Structure 1
């Protein structure tokens, strides 16, 4: 990681700004590392040019800092799909899944820490439920509009998310396999798992 030059001391009353800088640095570093274990409070302090004590003033320990950083990264991910729309619920579902999958490819380190780190067993990561709930809601709208067969929307959404997560994880961990285009795989999941008509996808 490239060394950074020391930053100027924040004026009094700008503690919240320093906290934001600490979290932003932790997000960047987690994306580079792809693992939360090597991240230390001292390393984050060096990244932004402050004393380690300044980091401890805002976060009790490393796990709390990692948790807040992941929550921020996930919030940014959710924001990136909030404005995704489509001509109908199927088009919207397709567009959202594509955005989520592409984000994972663009931020492999964050994806790994968010979904594969031991922090998932040590901390309450319920903030991730929002994506699941939104996917269930859109699948239900697809069913209500008669665009896919009626079924248990929660179960269908779970199958879809599991397939996409599995695909993303394998692509990151086994990049040398002869992978087909990601969008093509997503379309096949929509057809096989959700019941979308190939004609609706232009296939």
Structure 2
């Protein structure tokens, strides 16, 4: 009797017009893997292909190399951060200071839930090689939020773009250090963010 084990089940090919769906599945699988790896250089296209149950050659139909896939993941992460901030801000309509605070806290929450992805988003060399113009969206949203605080008299008049870059540097640095050095005696993140908002933006918080 033939004892040859059966070949592993292969994924059915997507029907015509469903190539975009496969691309999204590839990006989603890479996101899950990168959140665990926290290092894009440890990611392989073959491993991603196995996770999606497709041939490695199918990945290359959508992404010419690993860098292209990592960049797509970074862009997806940025979109999630923008969406999280927009939702948090919308819950505090009419109070610019609370809106800005909610936007920053939403970023911190996302980083806590996805530390590996946050690390890749801000530390990957892929971004330096290929560029990350999509990050301008989140910066623009934060500049607008800071400007609204100034216009409402909740923060001293200043150059909103400069204040935003100071705030962004502080928040991203704090989140990165918490991810890279989790054993340090960190104060609660919300307290640290509130100090940034008071000292760098000039908000008066209750």
TM-score normalised according to structure 2 size? 0.90
Match of 2:50 among 46, 50, 64: 46
Change in CA separation of 1:5 and 1:180 when aligned onto 2, cut-off 3 Å: farther
Q: What residue is the counterpart of 2:17 in the other structure?
A: 13
The ranges of structure 1 where at least 4 consecutive aligned residues each deviate by more than 4 angstroms after the TM superposition are none
SS of 1:190's equivalent?
helix
Q: What are the ranges of 5 or more consecutive residues in structure 1 without an aligned counterpart? A: none
> Does 1:78 pair with 2:85?
no
Match of 2:99 among 87, 92, 107: 92
**Superposed, which structure 2 residues align to 1:106-121 within 5 Å?**
106-121=113-128
**Superposed, which structure 2 residues align to 1:122-161 within 5 Å?**
122-161=129-168
**Superposed, which structure 2 residues align to 1:47-66 within 5 Å?**
47-66=51-70
> Does 1:27 pair with 2:31?
yes
CA drift at 1:120: 2.1
After superposition, the C-alpha distances for 1:18-76 in whole angstroms (9 at most, x for unaligned) are 11111111111111111111111111100111100111111111111111121112112
SS of 1:140's equivalent?
helix
Contact 1:148–1:196 under 8 Å retained in 2: yes
Equivalent residues, number: 196
Structure of larger gyration radius: 2
TM-score normalised according to structure 1 size? 0.92
After superposition, the C-alpha distances for 1:154-191 in whole angstroms (9 at most, x for unaligned) are 11111111111111011111111111110011111111
What is the CA RMSD across the aligned residues, in angstroms? Answer: 1.5
Match of 1:169 among 176, 200, 204: 176
Q: What are the ranges of 5 or more consecutive residues in structure 2 without an aligned counterpart? A: 1-7
